[in-house]
Amino acid sequence: MPLPPLRIGRYEIKYPIIQGGMGVGVSWENLAGNVSKEGGLGVVSSVGTGYRHPNYVKLKDGRPIGSKYIHSKEALQRIIRDAKEIAGGENAVIGVNILYAITDFGRVVRDSVEAGANIIIVGAGLPLTLPKYAPEEHLALVPIVSSARALRVICKHWKKKYNRLPDAVVVEGPKSGGHQGIPYEDCFKPEFQLENLVPEVIKERDKWGDFPVIAAGGIWDKKDIEFYLNLGAAGVQMGTRFVGTYECDASDEFKKVIINAKKEDIILLKSPVGYPARGIVTQLIKDIEEGKAPEVKCVSNCVVPCNHGEEAKKVGFCIADRLGDAYLGRRETGLFFSGSNGYRIKRLVHVKDLMRELVEGIPSGQDLPQE
Ligand SMILES: Cc1cc2nc3c(=O)[nH]c(=O)nc-3n(C[C@H](O)[C@H](O)[C@H](O)COP(=O)(O)O)c2cc1C
């Protein structure tokens, strides 16, 4: 079946495919710009932007200092503008992914709006205050949830306090890459799997309005997209497959790690953010288990729940430094996130060809072994 467009607020996306925001430095201007150019919604990650433009920020031992520089306003604004340029100019539609848990959440929302972001997608917590920071009517506000209950809490609060509802909601299941919104044990329970969450979230959405529900986590091909559209979703958000593209902003080392990963290498890890995160077993994971990971220094003060490195010390690693190292291509000390399907990526392809596969079903060859 031909895939229908996806309407989010006042924006019409040609194909119902959102490229999920991926930090640190996995989805910046090149990936997001190219996805929007090819008819999907490209989403820039707003975390750790000081790593992208170190000349704009103050560093200590190569790390951006404090929230002001790790989530750098100047770097983020440059990334958003460059993404728009790649996508076709000022009128191109670009989303920004912002974690509710970061220090300076409100400031980063304002930075994004000022730079011309159109769609603000927020995960890692219930974004109860988002409308306060993004009241402009042209903006589309999109929370990411892991349950119908979370959507209910958001709608109730936004309606009462701001007389606003989400312009769309992303429902993310536990096969997704990066941080999960539910405890470790729940990630294995049938009721939390995406195919069971989507109908629940749609039921909840129906009580509030008709904004689109977007499914995320473990979606691989056109058949999967059609499955979720048939369940009543209006679109999908995909992360992992976009890591396996030439245009992805991650380091070559990151792409090699995912290409070489085996199915059993992709696991749920403990994270200083509080909830588990899905990533790839590398030397770092073994070092963490043996208490040999690089020392936690908390130069960047990146997320609130970590409490200036206290949680990092408990789980044995600093999330900002380790994701920063993955971006810098440091294989030994980097932390490499992936969805549970990451092992299926066998070679890099262009975004254009991946989008063609997802939309038209013409294979891109991403899952064929390297010659
Ligand atoms: C490397 C990587 C980094 C990610 N970082 C973020 C992030 O910073 N914020 C966020 O909301 N989601 C993040 N995600 C989740 C994706 O945006 C997306 O929703 C998810 O990966 C979808 O599942 P899939 O990877 O199976 O397609 C990340 C995923 C990956 C693979």
Residue 160, classed as helix, strand or coil, is: helix
The pLDDT of residue 13 is 98
Asked if 93 and 40 touch (Cβ cutoff 8 Å), the reply is: no
CA of 160 to the centre of ligand 1 (A): 30
Q: CA-CA distance, 60 to 265, in Å (whole number)? A: 33
Q: Is the dihedral of CA 318, 320, 325, 327 positive or negative?
A: positive
Per the domain annotation, does 298 fall within a domain? no
CA dihedral 73, 78, 81, 87 (to 10 degrees): -120
User: If you ran DSSP here, which 8-state letter would residue 317 be given?
Assistant: S
Which atom of ligand 1 is nearest the CA belonging to 122?
Answer: 11
Q: Could you tell me the pLDDT band of residue 306, with boundaries at 50, 70 and 90?
A: confident
Distance 96 CA to ligand 1 centre (A): 13
In terms of phi and psi (left: phi > 0; alpha: psi -120 to 50; beta: otherwise), the region of 329 is left
> Residues with Cβ within 6 A of ligand 1?
20-23, 26, 45, 47, 97, 99, 123, 144, 172, 175-178, 216-219, 237-240, 243, 337-339, 341
How many angstroms does the Cα of residue 364 sit away from the middle of ligand 1? 21
Copy the structure tokens of residue 308.
């200036």
Whether 210 is in a domain gets the answer yes
Evaluate whether residue 256 is within a structural domain: no
End-to-end CA distance of the chain: 32
Whose Cα sits closest to atom 17 in ligand 1?
Answer: 20
The residue contributing the CA closest to ligand 1 atom 19 is 20
Whether residue 305 is contained in a domain is answered as no
The count of structural domains within the chain is 1
- pLDDT at residue 316, rounded to an integer: 85
CATH number at residue 166: 3.20.20.70
Q: Which domain holds residue 159?
A: 6-53+70-250+347-360
What is d(CA 246, CA 188) in angstroms, rounded to the nearest whole number? Answer: 33
- Tokens 């409308």 belong to which residue? 131
Higher pLDDT, 64 or 233: 233
The SS3 of residue 345 is coil
Is residue 325 in a domain? no
Distance 353 CA to ligand 1 centre (A): 21
> From atom 1 of ligand 1, which residue's Cα is the shortest distance away?
337
- Residue 305's pLDDT is 87
In a domain, 331, yes or no: no
Average pLDDT of span 298-312: 85
User: Is pLDDT of 310 > 90?
Assistant: no
Please write the tens of the pLDDT for every residue from 362-371. Answer: 999 999 887 6
What are 145-165's pLDDT values in tens digits?
999 999 999 999 999 999 999
The predicted-structure confidence for 106-153, as pLDDT tens digits, reads as follows 999 999 999 999 999 999 889 999 999 999 999 999 999 999 999 999
Ramachandran class of 85: left when φ > 0, alpha when ψ lies in -120 to 50, beta otherwise: alpha
pLDDT tier, 358 (very low <50, low <70, confident <90, very high otherwise): very high
pLDDT tens digits along 173-222: 999 999 999 999 999 999 999 999 999 999 999 999 999 999 999 999 99
| Å from CA of 142 to ligand 1 middle | 15
**Position in ligand 1 atom list of the atom nearest CA 21:** 17
**278 band by pLDDT with thresholds 50, 70 and 90:** very high
pLDDT of 126: 93
Return the amino acid letter for 93: V
Residue 191 falls within a domain, yes or no?
yes
Give the residue, out of 240, 255, 268, with the most ligand 1 atoms within 8 A of its beta carbon, to mutate for a pocket test.
240
What average pLDDT does the structure give for the chain? 95
Q: Residue 299: pLDDT band by 50, 70, 90 thresholds? A: confident
In this structure, the residue with its CA closest to atom 30 of ligand 1 is 177
Pocket test for ligand 1, best of 108, 176, 248, 263 (most atoms within 8 A of CB): 176
> Would residue 119 count as lying in a domain?
yes
Is the dihedral angle over the CA atoms 163, 165, 166, 167 positive or is it negative?
Answer: negative
Give the pLDDT band of residue 254 (cuts 50, 70, 90): very high
Burial class (CB within 10 angstroms; exposed 0-12, middle 13-18, buried 19+) of 287: middle
Q: What is the pLDDT of residue 74?
A: 95
Tell me which of 22, 24, 198 to substitute to probe ligand 1's pocket, judged by most ligand atoms within 8 Å of the beta carbon. Answer: 22
* Rounded distance between C-alpha atoms, residue 71 and residue 51, angstroms: 9
The predicted-structure confidence for 47-90, as pLDDT tens digits, reads as follows: 999 999 999 999 998 899 988 888 999 999 999 999 999 999 98
In whole angstroms, give the CA distance from residue 25 to residue 370: 25
